[in-house]
Amino acid sequence: MKNAFSDKASIIARQMLAEPGRKWVLRDFVGGNGLSLGMAQGVLAALQDMGCLERLKKGPHSYAGLVDAELLVSEWVKAYKFSMNAVYTYYTPHGDFLKRFKAAVPGDKYALTLHSGANLRTGYVKIEDPYIYLRLGNWPQELPRLREKLELKKLAQGGNVHLVRPFYKSVIFPARREVKGFSVVSDLQLYLDLYNFQPRGREHAQYLKETLLRKGEPLA
């Protein structure tokens, strides 16, 4: 079975969750986003096997449709954990670190996640340590320069700033948006990252989901 929740493969689930009532054909997923026809076919088959979607085969009028978004997300959090990302932890003495960070790094090069990103949407869990996805062209060269620029220190153990090299490198940054002046990952990615994260990740994920439901917004 094709892993429907790997980096590029997850584009299909993300698109379906963003437009849950749409009828999809294969060509909707193939092309500019880097998905091959074979990958798209494999992912749709995997999602169908899970019971998340139905596929109607009517020759040129064939299409696929999402039938259980709740099931899709619940299967996804079984397959993905935030620990699949690479996290680099440092220490800053600056209480206004995020303000300094935003002034030093362009918005299209970073995205907040976990509590630090979700709090901008919910204000629910006040945990100060920021987790920040970075888009760097050359991590071994650019990360040390960024650390120096931001005055980040490497401790023998622990720290209060977490810079993240994403597992979902193809999809994190195209889906980011600005929230209260900061670049933040999508609501769906916030939910996925939080769900298996400690402390209080699942609690915050559920609160975010309920907040979106009250607003009539999809988890996407």
- E strand or H helix at 56: strand 53-56
Q: Looking at the structure, do residues 63 and 107 belong to the same domain, yes or no? A: no
Instruction: Give the range of the structural domain holding residue 15, as residue numbers without chain letter.
Output: 10-79
Q: Looking at the structure, do residues 173 and 114 belong to the same domain, yes or no? A: yes
Q: CB neighbours (10 Å) of residue 178?
A: 10
Cβ proximity of 146 and 164 under 8 Å: no
Alpha-carbon dihedral angle through residues 207, 212, 214, 217, given to the nearest 10 degrees: -170
Q: Looking at the structure, do residues 93 and 69 belong to the same domain, yes or no? A: no
Taking CB atoms within 8 Å and a gap of at least 24, the contacts of 138-145 are 139/165, 143/88
pLDDT in tens, 135-186: 999 999 999 999 999 999 999 999 999 999 999 999 999 999 999 999 999 9
CA of residue 85 relative to chain centroid, distance: 11
Report how many domains make up the chain: 2
Is residue 127, in this structure, part of any structural domain at all? yes
Is residue 138, in this structure, part of any structural domain at all? yes
Backbone angles phi, psi at 95, to 5 degrees: -70, -20
Is residue 5, in this structure, part of any structural domain at all? no
pLDDT in tens, 34-92: 799 999 999 999 999 999 999 988 777 889 999 999 999 999 999 999 999 999 999 99
pLDDT in tens, 124-143: 998 879 999 999 999 999 99
Is residue 58, in this structure, part of any structural domain at all? yes
Is residue 65, in this structure, part of any structural domain at all? yes
Is residue 100, in this structure, part of any structural domain at all? yes
Q: CB neighbours (10 Å) of residue 55?
A: 13
Q: Residue 70 gets which letter from DSSP?
A: H
Q: Please tell me the pTM assigned to this model.
A: 0.95
Cα radius of gyration rounded to whole Å, the chain: 19
Q: Looking at the structure, do residues 53 and 113 belong to the same domain, yes or no? A: no
Query: Domain of 198: which CATH number?
Result: 3.30.460
Is residue 29, in this structure, part of any structural domain at all? yes
Q: Which of 79, 113, 140 is the last residue of a domain?
A: 79
Q: Which of 21, 48, 79 is the last residue of a domain?
A: 79
The reported pLDDT for the residue numbered 31 is 81
Q: Looking at the structure, do residues 91 and 155 belong to the same domain, yes or no? A: yes
Cβ proximity of 186 and 177 under 8 Å: yes
Q: Looking at the structure, do residues 127 and 211 belong to the same domain, yes or no? A: yes
- Give the C-alpha separation, 4 to 40, whole Å: 9
Question: Please, which residues have CB within 8 angstroms of residue 122's CB and are 6 or more apart in sequence?
Answer: 204, 207, 208, 211
Tokens of 4: 């429907």
Q: Looking at the structure, do residues 136 and 39 belong to the same domain, yes or no? A: no
Residue showing tokens 């629910």: 124
Cβ proximity of 49 and 1 under 8 Å: yes
Answer whether residue 1 shows pLDDT above 90. Answer: no
Q: Looking at the structure, do residues 89 and 143 belong to the same domain, yes or no? A: yes
